[in-house]
Amino acid sequence: MKTSRPNKKLLTFLWPKSLASQLIVLLVLAIVAAQALSVWIFHDERRIALVAAARDNLLMRAVSVASLLEEMPPALQDRLLTASSSRNAVFWLNATPFAPEPGQSRFEEKLQSIVARNLQDGHIVHVNVLADEKRGLRKKDDDDDDDDARDWRKVPKHERQAKLRKALRKAEDLRLSIRISDGRWLNIATSYRPPRIPFIPILVQLLLTVIATGLIVGFVIRRVTRPLKELAVSAEKFGRGEDPVPLEPSGPGEVQALTHTFNNMRDRLSRFVKDRTRMLAAISHDLRTPITSLRLRAEFIEDDENREKIIETLDEMAAMTEATLRFARDEAQTEAAQNADLGAILESVAGDQQDLGNDCAVDLDERIVLPCRPVALKRALRNLIENGIRYGESVTASLSKESGEAVIRISDKGPGIPEDRLKDVFEPFVRLEESRSEETGGIGLGLAITRSIIHAHGGTITLRNRDEGGLEAEVRLPLSQ
């Protein structure tokens, strides 16, 4: 089990990540496997076909040689036999047949009848087809390769027949004997070895097939993945709060349908958010008048204690209305996204606090640039740092890169927040005055606005109480792809 895990990790590492590469690899493996299987299945068929063709040719040649021997003077017969012999077949005359008896199998009888029909009457034909187990094949001697490679035409005339017969004894597959008119036998021994499988043409064909397949698959996959990549980039920008231009549908019909659906979804979400923002701004704006009217009327209340309490409540309502209206206006404004240095933004906010005499330190591991809305992001970080200074007196901010994300941590030395209320503080108009300072100076929209801005950038924000005391806010923003 211990050895399989590294192998699995290695295969995962080597396996291509893109769709085009995966399809090309799978198709190449399928082509290679299919070619190997077809060669393994049909190589024996090819051998059988070649041997059968060679035997048919031999039978006709034997018939021709036997007919010529009947008409040729004895002085020229030896020359005819020598000229008819080759590396795979040898012809000679003898008093006894090399095939001692007629063949008994259906195949042997068929070959004998073919030869007999093409000869004149009175010829006796013996055909013996030798299977591998009947040949008595022996291992080659050390000099066998030299004999095989030797051209029989270069052998002296008096040695040719003996040399050829010796070579054919290594792998005889057919014996043919034909009795001619003078009582002698025309003997033929054959040993047909089919040529080796031409691996170089197969490899060239395989390589050309792989190249053609790779080009076609690459073109098709590029046509599919290019609009998908554009769709992913547009979705990322939309998740960051940007308003990208509508995508032009392209590629296959399914991808075009997906692009249309994404464009429609983005338009609906944008209209929904804008409508809700306008409605919130309108409500907050309309509340100004009745609140102002009530405050004027409260001035005429004679009971000082009730008058002060009513005016205090109305002032709080007015502050809430103004904050809500300001939040709605900020949301309605569409700030253009641009590449910004997060470290520079963080140092700017910390510098403003230091100018006011507050204790705020910044620790930057590296320079991180990512597309964002700088003004909105600066406001979110300012809210976090101001809250830390207000409740913890001292703030430390850090910036680092972890797992493809920019991580901002803002820590204070305050009393912290109860564990069961860590998520509640992000809700609008929620204040935890029992665990934080009474002098909040706000109405509970700061963290809600901060979370909204961070989410609009495709990031996350979480709060946790530190073991050594104080609260830590962690902001994670995705880096540009």
Quick check: 188 pLDDT over 60?
Answer: yes
pLDDT band at residue 150 under the 50/70/90 scheme? very low
* Greater model confidence, 46 or 183: 183
Indicate the range of 176-190, 194-208, 224-238, 375-389 predicted with least confidence: 194-208
Calculate mean pLDDT across residues 443-455.
78
Region 219-225 average pLDDT:
80
Phi then psi for residue 469, to 5 deg, are 105, 145
- Greater confidence (244 vs 117) lies with 117
Q: Which residue has the higher pLDDT, 331 or 374?
A: 374
What is the structure's pLDDT at 407? 92
CATH class, domain 237-313, is mainly alpha
Tell whether the model's pLDDT for residue 247 goes beyond 80. yes
* Continuous H helices in 299-373: 304-332, 342-355
Task: With H, G, I as helix, E, B as strand and everything else as coil, classify residue 407.
Answer: strand
Q: Is the pLDDT of residue 280 over 60?
A: yes
Tell me the average pLDDT across 103-128. Answer: 82
Stretch 194-202: mean pLDDT: 67
Give the chain's mean pLDDT. Answer: 76
pLDDT bin (cut points 50, 70, 90) of residue 410 is: very high
Longest CA span, the chain: 158
Q: Are 248 and 226 in contact (CB under 8 A)?
A: no
Q: Quote the percentage of the chain above a pLDDT of 90.
A: 5
* pLDDT band at residue 133 under the 50/70/90 scheme: very low
Residue 144 has pLDDT above 80, yes or no: no
**Over 50: is that where the pLDDT of 108 sits?**
yes
Determine the average pLDDT of the residues in 103-131: 80
**What length is written for the chain?**
481
**pLDDT grade for 279, boundaries at 50, 70 and 90:** confident
Domain 237-313 identical in fold to domain 336-478: no
pLDDT at 51: 56
The reported pLDDT for the residue numbered 229 is 83
> Using 50, 70 and 90 to split pLDDT, how confident is the model at 408?
very high
> Tokens for 122?
């009175």
pLDDT of residue 252: 78
Share of the chain above pLDDT 70, in %: 73
* Confidence at residue 45, expressed as pLDDT on a 0 to 100 scale: 60
For the chain, the domains span: 72-190, 237-313, 336-478
d(CA 417, CA 195): 87
Please state, as a whole number, how many other Cβ atoms lie within 10 Å of the Cβ of residue 279. Answer: 11
Closest C-alpha to 385, from 478, 447, 299, 304: 447
Whether residue 13 has pLDDT greater than 70: no
Between 20 and 113, whose confidence is greater?
113
Read off the DSSP letter of residue 58: H
Average pLDDT for 178-187 = 88
Q: What is the pLDDT of residue 146?
A: 40
Two tokens at 113? 């009848």
Per-residue confidence at 109, pLDDT binned at 50, 70, 90?
A: confident
Q: Tell whether the model's pLDDT for residue 117 goes beyond 70.
A: yes
Q: In the predicted model, what is the mean pLDDT of residues 43-65?
A: 69
Q: Tell me the one-letter amino acid at 1.
A: M
Helix (H) or strand (E) holding 462: strand 460-465
pLDDT at 409 over 90: yes
What does DSSP assign to residue 96? S
Q: How many CA atoms lie within 13 A of 301 on its CB side?
A: 14
Residue 431: φ, ψ to 5°: -130, 135
Range among 128-137, 227-236, 314-323, 359-368 with highest mean pLDDT value: 359-368
Q: Which amino acid is at 137?
A: L
174-202 mean pLDDT: 78
* Phi and psi, residue 341, nearest 5°: -90, 110
Record the tokens describing residue 441, joined without a space. 């100076």
For the segment 192-203, the average pLDDT, to the nearest whole number, is 67
Q: Which two tokens stand for residue 443?
A: 């109405």
Looking at residue 411, its pLDDT comes to 92
Q: Which two structure tokens, joined as six digits, stand for 154?
A: 């270069």
pLDDT for position 142: 39
Q: What is the pLDDT of residue 391?
A: 82
Q: Pick the residue with more confidence: 143 or 239? A: 239
- Could you give the 3-state DSSP secondary structure of residue 73? coil
Q: How many CB atoms lie within 10 A of CB 368?
A: 21
For residues 26-41, give the mean pLDDT: 80
Instruction: Assign residue 122 a region (left: φ > 0; alpha: ψ between -120 and 50; beta: otherwise).
Output: left
Q: Which residues of 329-366 are buried (b: 16+ CB within 10 A; e: fewer)?
A: ebbeeeeebeebbbbebbbebbeebeeeebebebebee
Whose structure tokens read 């009393």? 415
Indicate whether 28 pLDDT > 90: no
Strands 394-402 and 359-364 come out as parallel
**Confidence (pLDDT) at 436:** 40
pLDDT at 397: 92
Q: What's domain 336-478's architecture?
A: 2-Layer Sandwich (3.30)
